[in-house]
Amino acid sequence: MRFSFFLLAGVLLAAPVSAHPHEWVDWGVGLVMDEKKPTTVVSIQLELTWDEWFSALMLTDFPDIGKRNLGANDLAQLDTTYGLGSSNRASSLTVTWAGKAVPVKLAMRTPRSDGKRVTLVYSFPVNKKITALTELRISLYDPTYYTDMGIRAKNGAFFLGVKDPRDYDGASSYEQDFAHPYYGGAVFPEVVVFGLRP
């Protein structure tokens, strides 16, 4: 009996350490720019590419994702069933401009798929003029064991609506948010940081 108790206790104590998310997602964030002086960040585009097994669920329920012809009702249903609008999620999205919080009201846009993985696309308006050196920070994470979100290795930060993306080389970097540990304090949210110049 005593051996069984210690065995059970060991299993229960080790469970959080060995637990892992049910879903994996690589995310990236882009700034939609208006380069007329003064340069304006019009909106932010958030892209989340889900792992193959979860993408397969989406493609089964929404086979037209690959055709890129989902209507507004389909997009709303996709979001509330599988996306960030799902009540099953605990995702946290934080955006700050020069240290001040930016209100976020996500709108789902046309998703993409290569037949194996689905990328959900969201955008929200910012409409901030760059009049001085400004820091824009975007953090996205899920503090539960349900989903693991990490910045994608390629193109984790990008610019849209610009004449030459090379003009923005070095304008983005990646950090960790050590103020919000999760997974028992073992993981920290990843942050995309833009350093924007007039």
Helix H or strand E encompassing 149? strand 147-151
Q: Residue 1 above 80 pLDDT?
A: no
Which tokens sit at 48? 């989340």
CATH number at residue 183: 2.70.170
Mean pLDDT of 17-30: 82
State the average pLDDT for the chain: 90
Q: Is residue 66 part of a domain?
A: yes
> What percent of the chain has pLDDT above 70?
90
Mean pLDDT of 175-198: 93
**Per-residue pLDDT tens for 122-165?**
999 999 999 999 999 999 999 988 899 999 999 999 999 999 99
Q: Is residue 2 part of a domain?
A: no
Confidence of residue 69 (pLDDT cuts 50, 70, 90): confident
Q: Is residue 13 part of a domain?
A: no
3-state class (DSSP) for residue 87: coil
3-state class (DSSP) for residue 19: coil
What is the residue range of 188's domain?
21-196
**Per-residue pLDDT tens for 79-129?**
999 999 999 899 999 999 999 999 999 999 999 999 999 999 999 999 999
Q: How many helices (H) and strands (E) does the chain have?
A: 3, 11
Q: Is residue 44 part of a domain?
A: yes
Which tokens sit at 98? 């020069």
Count how many domains the chain has.
1
CA distances from 125 to 42, 103, 111, 144, 147 (A): 6, 9, 18, 28, 26
Q: Whose CA is closest to 128, among 194, 46, 29? A: 194
Residue recorded with tokens 């240290």? 99
